[in-house]
Structure 1
Amino acid sequence: MKISQLDQLTDVAACPRLVVKVGSALLVGGDGAPRRDWLAALVAEIAAARAGGQEVIVVSSGAIALGARKLGLAKGGRGSLSDAQAAASVGQIALAGLWAELLAAHGLTAAQILLTLEDLEDRRRYLNVTATLGTLLAAGAVPVINENDSVATQEIRFGDNDRLAARVGQAAGASAVLLLSDIDGLYDRDPREPGAQRIPVVRGVTPEIHAMATGGSSSGLGSGGMTSKLQAAEIAEFAGIALAIIDGQPVSPIATALQADRGTLFLPRGRKQARKAWLGGKMRMRGLVRVDAGAASALTRGSSLLAAGVTAVEGEFQRGDAIAVLGPDGQTLARGLSEYDAAECVRIMGRPSRDHEATLGYAPRSALIHRDQMVLL
């Protein structure tokens, strides 16, 4: 049963497993203290969903904001990387304790998981996350996940929990991801402008949809904005997962939004084979290759990428690394795992396969990127 409308997010038949993302501005007040009453009402909604048979995973921001208050750090703890890491170290204890206390009041066990980008970009670690989530849910626990900001650096961080939530949804095999925001969906322009219209359903995140987004977080507490939410929607699309944005500010926000049918629902594409869904959702590419029109056309017909169609190689990557494939117009056509390192790609690009052995000194592989290790975008 595929999700096609907003209120199906609480329908166990349509959505047996749901990821709920909570932003900093919702969980933490302007004074840096947790909004306990609001959070208690949300936890009651989660408990009701669990009682009805729906499995729920929480992706919760708020550690940096809570820690900054305790440490007395300026700018909400985001003045520098070291401030953010210190604030997260202190705040994560408070955040986990808060969720554990409120869930326990409903007889539910909270399970904390802290992740970095590499935990979901590396295939083996990704599968470990999948296994852990499955075991926790089978045992009746409610996983509460956050980025591991105490150790994450700019190079190994998601940077916002919207995209983390989408990747967690993919790893968990969820049916949908629900982003609780400080706005009730995607608008066709800045929602503060007169005449701005909310878009209730999006069928594919296109360049036109991206053009509607505004970048920053209006609260000053979080790190995301509508742009990050659209990137999360793209990750969910590739995994065949629905994603919705609703206004998280009211008390009992899920029931309030769904009863009023206010939000934006991004419809999923067909669910891909697990490895290709993982590839489609990867956020960091080690490099890229540019291809000619002939190769671009062949890719759309399901062919592997041959070196003969490659016109340029960029980046420093090794065999097995994820790289992007760009067409003649500069648009990204695909992502895949390279069968060669960057230096080898430079040597064989534009050359037919029959010349590869003489060029490389060993028998060539069947393709630069095999179609089984590639996903079209």
Structure 2
Amino acid sequence: MKIDKLADFSDPSLCHRLVVKIGSALLVDDDGEIRTEWLRTVIEDVREARDRGQEVVIVSSGSIAIGAKKLGFFGKRRSLSEAQASAAVGQITLASTWSDLLAEQGMTAAQMLLTLDDFEGRRRYLNASSTFGRLLKSSVVPVVNENDSIATGEIRFGDNDRLAARVAQSCSADGVILLTDVDGLYDKHPNEPDATRLEKVHGVTEEIQAMADSESGSDVGTGGMTAKLLAAQIAERAGIALAIVDGSHRKPLTYAAENTSGTLFLPKRDDSAYKAWIGGRMRFNGSITVDDGCASALHDGRSLLAAGIVKVDGDFERGDVITIHDLVGRMIAKGMTEYDAEDCDAIKGKQNSKQEAILGHTPRSAVIHRDQLVLL
């Protein structure tokens, strides 16, 4: 059985391990202070989930907003250094608050600060996965945030929605709930009078993506509906259900389950842990463009052969995960390449029988084997 409705997130037989993400707009008020009493009700939800036999991981935003208040940057446009300084100051308060409030309910908190690099490299990804497993086995509640005090544009997620989805992959969660200041995905801007909320989405298609608004609805958040749909795509590749839920209510997890308030994204696939990691990758050193015949073969489950490649971009090495595009520029897959960019460019468009003379050695069976390729 799989998660099929919002109430299923409260069923330990369907959702044994749950990731809950809390956005800054919910956690921090207009004065830059933590909404402590509301947060206590969230922790009541966490305790009740634990009492049911569920394991819970928290992804908590808020460090920059909290620190900005203390440093006098709140409500102002901040430079990178000011944002990083704010995160360094705010994270102490944020972690302390979580630790104290969880302790009130008899639970132990653990802080994990992660960056994009911790998920892009396979070894570090597995290390994070192992840490989550050990903490949860010890009945600890991991509280995760992006390490904003050191993260810069090229090594950061930029929003905790996608971070939550990657955390869910790495800890083998069954479900993700994004608590936010809206009650789900609408077919048009929710301020329009005829806007309709979608209760279930079976896979994030181009049509679904067109409904998203890339702007965050608050002054303190960094996400927006586009980021949440990207998170849903990451989750669905690993067979993980994800819900966008209005978190403004007291005990928001209970409220969502009882009132079916939110949008549930149901996965279309259930990739292996390795393929889910490839599919969730966000940073790449290069790409390959393939012809229509090769694109069709990939969709039929074939490996990517050099004969179908028409263009090579970037400076990648063997073992890198790169993107694959069709002739109109759409990204259709990601995969781990068996060649570096120079060799790949040299053999593009060539049949296997002609590659040995170009490479000076016996060619590999494929540029990207199907076992290391994920269709999007």
Sort the TM-score into its range (normalised by shorter chain): over 0.9
Aligned counterpart, 1:200: 199
> For the Cα contact (< 8 Å) 1:241–1:269, is it kept in 2?
no
> What CA distance in whole angstroms lies between the structure 1 residues aligned with 2:74 and 2:258?
39
SS at match of 1:114: strand
> What CA distance in whole angstroms lies between the structure 2 residues aligned with 1:2 and 1:264?
16
> What CA distance in whole angstroms lies between the structure 2 residues aligned with 1:85 and 1:116?
13
AA partner of residue 61 (structure 1):
S
Aligned counterpart, 1:233: 232
Aligned counterpart, 1:374: 373
Aligned counterpart, 1:222: 221
Correspondence list, 1:266-345, <5 A: 266-345=265-344
AA partner of residue 194 (structure 1):
P
> What CA distance in whole angstroms lies between the structure 2 residues aligned with 1:294 and 1:195?
43
Matched, 1:181 2:180: yes
SS at match of 1:330: coil
Residue 285 of structure 1, CA deviation: 2.2
> What CA distance in whole angstroms lies between the structure 1 residues aligned with 2:79 and 2:344?
39
Aligned counterpart, 1:72: 72
Cα RMSD between the aligned structures? 1.0
TM-score, normalised on structure 2? Answer: 0.98
> What CA distance in whole angstroms lies between the structure 2 residues aligned with 1:26 and 1:204?
27
> For the Cα contact (< 8 Å) 1:335–1:375, is it kept in 2?
yes
AA partner of residue 69 (structure 1):
K
> For the Cα contact (< 8 Å) 2:32–2:74, is it kept in 1?
no
Matched, 1:259 2:258: yes
Aligned counterpart, 1:346: 345
Correspondence list, 1:44-193, <5 A: 44-75=44-75, 79-193=78-192
SS at match of 1:15: coil
Residue 75 of structure 1, CA deviation: 3.6
AA partner of residue 43 (structure 1):
I
> What CA distance in whole angstroms lies between the structure 2 residues aligned with 1:249 and 1:286?
40
SS at match of 1:19: strand
SS at match of 1:18: strand
Residue 252 of structure 1, CA deviation: 1.2
> What CA distance in whole angstroms lies between the structure 1 residues aligned with 2:168 and 2:197?
25
Task: Indicate the larger mover: 254-263 or 168-177.
Answer: 254-263
Aligned counterpart, 2:11: 11
Residue 52 of structure 1, CA deviation: 1.2
Instruction: Give deviations 1:122-154, integer Å, cap 9, x for gaps.
Output: 100000011000000000000000000011010
Residue 342 of structure 1, CA deviation: 1.1
SS at match of 1:46: helix
Task: Indicate the larger mover: 15-24 or 337-346.
Answer: 337-346
SS at match of 1:162: helix
Residue 360 of structure 1, CA deviation: 1.7
Residue 269 of structure 1, CA deviation: 2.5
SS at match of 1:266: strand
> What CA distance in whole angstroms lies between the structure 2 residues aligned with 1:270 and 1:294?
24
> What CA distance in whole angstroms lies between the structure 2 residues aligned with 1:316 and 1:83?
33
Instruction: Indicate the percent of aligned positions where both proteins have the same amino acid.
Output: 57
Q: Any gaps of 5 or more consecutive residues in structure 1?
A: none
AA partner of residue 345 (structure 2):
V
Corresponding pairs, count: 376
Task: Indicate the larger mover: 304-313 or 283-292.
Answer: 283-292
AA partner of residue 225 (structure 1):
G
Matched, 1:33 2:28: no
Instruction: Give deviations 1:162-198, integer Å, cap 9, x for gaps.
Output: 0000000000100000000100000000001110000
> For the Cα contact (< 8 Å) 2:338–2:367, is it kept in 1?
yes
Residue 327 of structure 1, CA deviation: 1.6
SS at match of 1:277: helix
AA partner of residue 349 (structure 2):
G
SS at match of 1:319: coil
Instruction: Give deviations 1:76-100, integer Å, cap 9, x for gaps.
Output: 6x51110111001011010000000
AA partner of residue 56 (structure 2):
V
> What CA distance in whole angstroms lies between the structure 2 residues aligned with 1:252 and 1:163?
23
> For the Cα contact (< 8 Å) 1:319–1:340, is it kept in 2?
yes
> What CA distance in whole angstroms lies between the structure 2 residues aligned with 1:24 and 1:301?
43
> What CA distance in whole angstroms lies between the structure 2 residues aligned with 1:271 and 1:137?
23
Residue 74 of structure 1, CA deviation: 4.4
> For the Cα contact (< 8 Å) 1:304–1:369, is it kept in 2?
yes
> What CA distance in whole angstroms lies between the structure 2 residues aligned with 1:302 and 1:49?
40
Residue 358 of structure 1, CA deviation: 1.2
> For the Cα contact (< 8 Å) 1:20–1:58, is it kept in 2?
yes
> What CA distance in whole angstroms lies between the structure 1 residues aligned with 2:64 and 2:152?
14
Task: Indicate the larger mover: 165-174 or 298-307.
Answer: 298-307
AA partner of residue 73 (structure 2):
L
Instruction: Spell out structure 1 runs of 4+ moving beyond 4 A.
Output: none
TM-score, normalised on structure 1? Answer: 0.98
AA partner of residue 354 (structure 2):
D
Task: Indicate the larger mover: 48-57 or 362-371.
Answer: 362-371
Residue 329 of structure 1, CA deviation: 3.0
Residue 251 of structure 1, CA deviation: 1.3
Residue 309 of structure 1, CA deviation: 0.3
> For the Cα contact (< 8 Å) 2:65–2:74, is it kept in 1?
no
Residue 330 of structure 1, CA deviation: 2.3
SS at match of 1:57: strand
> For the Cα contact (< 8 Å) 1:108–1:142, is it kept in 2?
yes
